Structure 1
Amino acid sequence: MKNTMNNTFLLYTLLSAQILTASDICAQNIHSKKWKDIAYKQPIEWYASDEASAIADSVLKYQMPNGGWPKNQEWHVGADQAYMQKCREEGIGSTFDNNATTSEMKFLCRMYNSKKDKRYRTAFIHGLEYILKAQYANGGWPQFFPARKGRSVAYSSHITFNDGAMTNILKLLENISDGNTIYDKLNIPDTLKTKAHEAYKRGVQCILDCQYKQDGKLTVWCQQHDENTLLPAPARAYELKSLSGHGETVDILQFLMSIPNPSDSICRSIKSAVEWLKKSAIKDTVIEKYNDSEGRTDIRPVYKKGAPDIWARFYSIETGKPIFCDRDGIAKASIEEIGYERRNGYRWYGSSPQKIIDAYKDWLERNGYTDSEQQ
């Protein structure tokens, strides 16, 4: 009997030694993850760890004086020191591009809830004040605030839907002003919550105001819009002012369709955009990879009857037809007309609008539309 008990105890000890907590597992894999996965997708207990505190020290250290953060920094791996120094010297670098600023704020919120360190709350509030200050009177937000200098990056002042810049901000403001449990623990002053709510409402209205009208009919959105006229605006040389097919339009529609009790203007916006997506789908086509005459992997559209619908990245604001562009800034009607580098260095086609179309019927039913209105 004694030997049995000893064996059982030994087995229990060995098994216990092999059991890892969620935090242990995260710690083992932390450096292989992207920053946004660290910022707000870890198990909640991980944010109480020493490892999380060390990362938080870096996030606090590199917050810009105006309250924002630079983009493309993997804080859990290490900041780009040369770029950070340039940002501090020029006073330009705070941005909403590529999840910057909003991801750091989400991280600090979780850190504060776990650690109750006042530094995290202070930095979060400073970030919120930065967001409110960066908003234009028309409700939009630029990619960078203050805007970057130079002709080649003039688009940084445009109202930016690209990479979820606007929608990331709006989701955060909505959670803050609506008393979401995670953010409510920060005890944000009521005056700031009110400002966040008003900024949110202006932002939603800006989205509606930016929706492009083609021949008097609402269509969709561009990557970015002029901060004064609200019209589609260009960005990099190969990103002409155009209508977004599988990019920003999908992100915006996902956001608008998540709004409870949507107004008539929001409903009209959604219905018009979905109708445009349905009409703009490219049918019976797949994007095929093949080896060209030089042995390089290339792509080309190929006819395939019954293939799932796909959409172009950009559509002409004049004709509504797909357009493609090289670094020379000249629009082409087909992907074969642009050079190898850009043809294979950009995602010119995608299928993401299908998930909007698939969710559309449920959205209509949730909002009380009849069968005839669903056609």
Structure 2
Amino acid sequence: MMIDKNDLKRGLKIAIFGICFGITAQQAVFAQSKEISWGQAQQQDKEWYASGEAQRIADNVLLYQHNNGGWYKNINMADKLTSAEKDKLRAQKSEEVGTTIDNGATHTQLNYLAKIYSATSEEKYKNAFLDGVDYLLEAQYENGGWPQFYPIKEGYYEHITYNDGAMIGVMNLLRDIAKEKPGYTFVDAKRKKKAQKAINKGLEVILATQVKVDGNLTIWCAQHDKDDFSPAKARAYELPSLSGKESAGIVEYLLKLKKPSEEVKKSIRSAVQWFDEHKVMGEKVVWIKDTSYVEGHDRVVVQDSDGGPLWGRFNDIKTGKPIFVGRDGIIKSHLADIEQERRVGYNYIDNYAEELLKREYPEWEKKY
């Protein structure tokens, strides 16, 4: 029987993979061949990142990276690309307008590349990672904040952006680098020092942008003016307000600080107090089937004695009550009052700070 050389190579590769990571040949074949989504690719066991599928996706990530080190948003990095699509991406690498930290862009790609490099030691992944880190460091404002897009895109994109975890996602990555967390020890000393400086400045602007009402610290807006730090408007339905989702992420970041200053402690406790005082109880969010809509379903808030806690994605700065704003930009008091397209397309109310109040903050408070 003739033995195909490619099959022999593949079998040897699988065997080595299995020996290195202590898994069976069947598991190795699965790891080498299984196709997964971009979201799933970021949450695999450590061993998977040495697989052929993991590296195929990593090579996509390199193709999508622009020459300035950043990435566009809302791209499925796990898609299989044709030769024509790859050529098009190579031709677009010099385009920089549109590289961003919005919707998880750039910092998620970098986290992925770090895992791939740790598993493979392939220099191309390390170099791409370092280029991306340089992009993030360059994009930071002198005051410590990060804009949504870099190079700067005029409009609300210039605001210091906490929305969708943009700035906190960057700071979590840079903190892992600065603290030499496992998987990031390959980063050179110069960049580690710059990363530490960046997160120090980032902390300063986090503390400076925490909104005060009647002299008392509350939480944060989803975006703040880059010059005067005031809560700022973005899209028509994203008005200056107090943001439940984004603020929970900010507090979770602060809770991880080693040896927090008294100012940081005050910031955390003030935010937690606001969350505790403004939680909505006796209600829950449910999805219902509704064939009168194209989507076939709707998202509604119903009364439930066991429901809660809930917080608004947007909350009135003065009252702290959830507000609901559709594309007309008009504030409503109930989710049902805005258009169905926004009800199903945007999460206006959820249990954003439940884990924070129930577990994360109490554990932190025991220490301090």
TM-score range, shorter chain: 0.7 to 0.9
The one of 134, 142, 147 equivalent to 2:139 is 134
Q: Which moved more, 1:68-77 or 1:294-303?
A: 294-303
Q: After superposition, where does 1:39-188 map in structure 2 within 5 Å? A: 39=42, 41-78=43-80, 81=85, 88=93, 90-149=95-154, 154-184=155-185, 186=186, 188=187
Seen in structure 2, the aligned counterparts of structure 1 residues 123 and 89 have a Cα distance that, compared at 3 Å, is closer
Note the alpha carbon deviations across 1:209-261, whole angstroms, 9 max, x for none.
1111111111001111111111111222111111112x111111111112222
Q: Which has the larger radius of gyration?
A: 1
Note the alpha carbon deviations across 1:173-227, whole angstroms, 9 max, x for none.
111111223111x2x3322211111001111121111111111111001111111
Q: TM-score, normalised by structure 2?
A: 0.84
Q: In 1, distance between residues paired with 2:40 and 2:289? A: 36
Q: After superposition, where does 1:241-252 map in structure 2 within 5 Å? A: 241-245=240-244, 247-252=245-250
- 2:266 counterpart residue number: 268
How far off is 1:338 after superposition?
Answer: 1.7
The one of 20, 41, 51 equivalent to 1:38 is 41
How far off is 1:143 after superposition?
Answer: 1.4
Q: Would you say the 8 A contact 1:36–1:99 is kept in 2?
A: no
Q: How many residues align?
A: 341
- 2:283 counterpart residue number: 285
Note the alpha carbon deviations across 1:296-354, whole angstroms, 9 max, x for none.
64444333334332122211123322211110111122223222222333212111311
- 1:305 counterpart residue number: 305
Q: In 1, distance between residues paired with 2:143 and 2:216? A: 22
- 2:319 counterpart residue number: 319
How far off is 1:137 after superposition?
Answer: 0.8
Seen in structure 2, the aligned counterparts of structure 1 residues 112 and 337 have a Cα distance that, compared at 3 Å, is closer
Seen in structure 2, the aligned counterparts of structure 1 residues 44 and 24 have a Cα distance that, compared at 3 Å, is farther
Seen in structure 2, the aligned counterparts of structure 1 residues 130 and 294 have a Cα distance that, compared at 3 Å, is closer
How far off is 1:271 after superposition?
Answer: 0.4
Q: In 2, distance between residues paired with 1:141 and 1:23? A: 41
How far off is 1:22 after superposition?
Answer: 4.8
Q: Secondary structure at the match of 2:307?
A: coil
Seen in structure 2, the aligned counterparts of structure 1 residues 307 and 205 have a Cα distance that, compared at 3 Å, is same
Q: Secondary structure at the match of 1:180?
A: coil
- 1:198 counterpart residue number: 197
Q: In 2, distance between residues paired with 1:20 and 1:314? A: 51
Q: In 1, distance between residues paired with 2:290 and 2:125? A: 54
Q: In 2, distance between residues paired with 1:20 and 1:265? A: 55
1:335 aligns with 2:329: no
Letter in 1 for 2:217: L
Q: Secondary structure at the match of 1:142?
A: coil
Q: TM-score, normalised by structure 1?
A: 0.82
Q: Secondary structure at the match of 1:287?
A: strand
Q: In 2, distance between residues paired with 1:257 and 1:96? A: 23
The one of 223, 240, 259 equivalent to 2:257 is 259
Seen in structure 2, the aligned counterparts of structure 1 residues 325 and 365 have a Cα distance that, compared at 3 Å, is same
Note the alpha carbon deviations across 1:261-289, whole angstroms, 9 max, x for none.
21111110110001101111112223355
Unmatched 5+ residue regions in structure 2? 1-17
Letter in 1 for 2:364: W
Q: Secondary structure at the match of 2:35?
A: helix
Q: In 1, distance between residues paired with 2:149 and 2:192? A: 23
Q: In 2, distance between residues paired with 1:51 and 1:292? A: 39
Q: In 1, distance between residues paired with 2:194 and 2:216? A: 33
Note the alpha carbon deviations across 1:11-30, whole angstroms, 9 max, x for none.
xxxxx9x9555554344543
Q: Would you say the 8 A contact 1:36–1:103 is kept in 2?
A: no
Note the alpha carbon deviations across 1:43-62, whole angstroms, 9 max, x for none.
32322233333322222222
Q: In 2, distance between residues paired with 1:52 and 1:343? A: 36
Q: Secondary structure at the match of 1:362?
A: helix
Unmatched 5+ residue regions in structure 1? 1-15, 368-375
Letter in 2 for 1:97: D
Q: Secondary structure at the match of 1:270?
A: helix
Q: Would you say the 8 A contact 2:291–2:297 is kept in 1?
A: no
Q: In 2, distance between residues paired with 1:210 and 1:23? A: 49
How far off is 1:79 after superposition?
Answer: 6.2
State percent identity of aligned pairs: 38
Q: Which moved more, 1:175-184 or 1:78-87?
A: 78-87
Q: In 2, distance between residues paired with 1:24 and 1:208? A: 50
